[in-house]
Structure 1
């Protein structure tokens, strides 16, 4: 019996050892196979994780602005001090945008220069650029054929690079009861062909047009392709040094009228901007409706009708240009860099914060 039991015990022990070895062998085999599979699949897993991570990052970039072009991302900005000037309509850009540019790019120094013997404006700024007194100019109107011809005579060309949009607004004394003007009527007023407000649906009151000298004008109401561009203004036109002076004169002149950058005059408290149109049925206001009355100003101010400027429905646009001297010198380098700074996402946003319409 004892021998039989001993044999059975030995057999059970051997079976147990066999089964244990078999199980351990299978486990080891599975571990080896699993490890081999993991090693083979590892590149794909890493690749997929990398793609997933990339997709997550790409989804968050627009929110944190990493893809936005900024003043810091513009290359080849020269390190020096440069003179510039021109349009008075750019005053808010010089105050807001140019200050930001020089804060972010301290290596660049911009110095605004006023003309000596004329009033500041687009025309005088371009003339100073032609004469070598400025490194680049800011303009609220396109270049004329005459300016391009002068540049060519002097061995270079001028490039106009658009960076923003504005409009030309017509402003009058707030007491004047006129519903609006057509562009043709406005032009005839300044040519001396319409001299009383009763000729355009207003009161029996003589019209007193105010204007900058044409040679210094900041904006123009006669397009460069118009036959009227070279006609002399009417003898009743009174010339002013600046928009500030014109607004002051309008305040005490019931029949006065003046045209200028919409961004410059629409928010003014002491004048009223008139709707303009190709016809009386197409009058569009340069300000956002409803109009803010003088009594509400300055607690509230009229704001530029950016939608009409942007969609092109406003009848007299005034585009903003950087005028660049193409001479392969330092002037061209800074003019090109300045335009590129304004055309960045940051620059366009700042231009809109300054009250204009961007071009991007």
Structure 2
């Protein structure tokens, strides 16, 4: 049953999400349905809601089922109830709710010890599925984690059930590809499961995730705050989820118990187990039934899910996304796709496709078959306002009478329209800047830039300057800048980068200040950590740092890639670049002195300091070592590790192989992947930071490269692992972004240029420069 919503909050929901109710209450505007599209567009500004109302709206859109009824919770669902958290806020040692004795939330700084680390709870994020989410920290490396707490409360589960479910949780909560490959298809998998089957008092189990993806909003939350998705967006969601289901349904997986399982179904696909990155419009799957169902009540009938169940569930998800809710907000009854009156205006082809997913037509044989059928559909178009007006007027049978009330109403509506027309115009203008984040085919299909001349900026020694202005990256004697300008019609973009100031941070700050002050129309930069009230950004490609050493074919057996087994840890890098290691034998390598190199790009140095060195003491030591090395020469081959040489990445690539083959020195360096990729004189090492090695380069067979891979003669058989960059699993990855002002009074050229850079045509050009595209590109 839906959670009961207080009357005043239900009214707020209706005002926000059902404008006809608002209009009919006043009876004057209710008959003028031609105003509905206008009011729909501006209703968030006309009817703002406070936090309490937003929460009620979310619950009204996505009501949760009753859980743990044995505890007589006042809200009838303890996982959503505020009292368990209030108990801990009043007394940090409290373990139970003072109202109903349900297990309280975890107190801040609670420590959880697992086999792969020790974690501390920072704060409660809320409920998702069958558990409560917390933000936490892994104490070993101070890395942020997400903790999901599952409950086996004593009033619901007896001792035998407690033991069995804890043991099953440890055995089932986690997946890896059976062949050892590392692939990511937007499926969020746990890092560690923590439970003690021998402890009959402990009612809790924990799932640790080492990715920020787990904190993204669910699709249910998205609908509660944004309303229904457009048919275009729903097609994009379907495409992504079907891709993930293909992967899940067709691969062999190894469970934590060692058991191999094939054709695994998600089994718990719904708007609560689908997460959305609203910036990139990527959809991620979480909370597999494999472990989520372990915490259902013992009386719940659970059957083993099959792939066909996932397709049916996906069809229901698509229907709910189009409607914008799960239940009728007035009657509380679930919306039913069999009721054709509840469907919004969409193409017959998309409607038939969703019905086939649900099972109300010829079912698809597999996720792969469904996705192929989806890709053959014509892209959905936004429905014009005029067609919406016709659809609304037909059932109403609007009849006009010459009465004073109607004349008054007409006058009032015209006044309202006159007062709001400028607002609608600004909204329609802004709407152009929020086009779908999925890839449009061609630059000509994207909203064009305004006519005229526009200036933008960036860092002079940054990634964008390199890929934009260097010849021969796109084609012989051709630059990306000229190629883009050819396609921009009557618009001209002038790039005026800012030279290096004192450090990378100062240069970046200067770039942002130019945009903020209105001295430039937008900027392209990296390392955008958060949005501000006056600026926003869009990602359009990825780059990242790679750590590399010499790759000598003539002396392969004695070379560093082979000795290091193709990997290096963050801790080893910290020791190397703070002068604590002077010979490679200290790391199990050959008896070679260490030589350190760093690039000239300030953004690369900043990332290395922030993500590898981390603490201020290590950064200060690194900078001191670097400054001192400027006073020394590196002409003698007997010089040991202490000097740090700063060169361009291309000069370093030549130097490290010469160091090894001519001077008997083992050089190590880092630089941007866009410059290192394909340069086979150096080997990019996999990085290790509390877990398995993560290699940024993958072969055509899906396996990471290794020291036996022929990087010179097999070019074209390996490429950057896009999934690692798009999900942030490669810890040295970063996005390239367009930064522009949140101000409708200023030109929208920045947002529109970002949309142009995200077209498939632009992404293919960017890929040629060495940048990593947002999504896989079709092979010719």
Where on the TM-score scale, by shorter chain, does this alignment land: which range? 0.5 to 0.7
Q: SS in structure 1 opposite 2:652?
A: helix
CA-to-aligned-CA distance 1:214-243 (integer Å, 9 cap, x gap):
856466123379852572215135343532
Question: Which structure 2 residues correspond to residues 1-360 of structure 1 after superposition, within 5 A?
Answer: 55=349, 69=440, 70-72=442-444, 73-75=446-448, 77=450, 79-86=452-459, 88-90=462-464, 91-92=466-467, 96=474, 99-113=482-496, 116=499, 124=507, 127-128=510-511, 130=513, 135-142=521-528, 158-175=535-552, 176-177=559-560, 178-179=564-565, 180-212=567-599, 217=604, 220-223=607-610, 227-228=614-615, 231-232=619-620, 233=622, 235=625, 236=642, 238-254=644-660, 255-279=666-690, 282-289=692-699, 290=705, 292-293=709-710, 295-296=712-713, 302-324=718-740, 333-348=748-763, 350-352=765-767, 354=769, 355-358=771-774
Assess if the C-alpha contact under 8 Å between 2:722 and 2:775 holds in 1: no
**Displacement of 1:263:** 3.0
Assess if the C-alpha contact under 8 Å between 1:85 and 1:138 holds in 2: yes
Q: CA RMSD in A?
A: 4.4
Distance 1:309 1:128, change over 3 A: closer
CA-to-aligned-CA distance 1:283-337 (integer Å, 9 cap, x gap):
122212345435527x65752222433454333222222233567776x643333
Assess if the C-alpha contact under 8 Å between 2:688 and 2:694 holds in 1: yes
Assess if the C-alpha contact under 8 Å between 1:166 and 1:261 holds in 2: yes
Assess if the C-alpha contact under 8 Å between 1:219 and 1:261 holds in 2: no
Distance 1:107 1:241, change over 3 A: farther
Give distance in 1, aligned partners of 2:614 and 2:740: 28
Which residue is equivalent to 1:23?
none
Assess if the C-alpha contact under 8 Å between 2:539 and 2:737 holds in 1: yes
Give distance in 2, aligned partners of 1:242 and 1:358: 27
Give distance in 2, aligned partners of 1:169 and 1:250: 15
Larger radius of gyration: 1
Assess if the C-alpha contact under 8 Å between 2:687 and 2:693 holds in 1: yes
Q: SS in structure 1 opposite 2:720?
A: coil
Give distance in 2, aligned partners of 1:318 and 1:288: 18
Residue ranges of structure 2 left out of the alignment (5+ in a row): 1-344, 354-372, 381-438, 475-479, 553-558, 626-641, 661-665, 700-704
Give distance in 1, aligned partners of 2:506 and 2:719: 26
**Displacement of 1:358:** 0.3
May I ask how many residue pairs the two structures share in their alignment?
Answer: 297
**Displacement of 1:201:** 2.3
Give distance in 2, aligned partners of 1:164 and 1:250: 29
User: Normalising to structure 1: TM-score of the pair?
Assistant: 0.63
CA-to-aligned-CA distance 1:36-91 (integer Å, 9 cap, x gap):
xxxxxxxxxxxxxxx9x9759x9999559766734333255452142434364344
**Displacement of 1:349:** 5.3
CA-to-aligned-CA distance 1:148-174 (integer Å, 9 cap, x gap):
8xxxxxxx9554432223332111111
Greater relative contact order, per chain length (Cα 8 Å cut-off, separation 6+): 1
Assess if the C-alpha contact under 8 Å between 1:211 and 1:258 holds in 2: yes
Distance 1:195 1:141, change over 3 A: farther
**Displacement of 1:131:** 5.5
Distance 1:89 1:213, change over 3 A: closer
**Displacement of 1:202:** 1.6
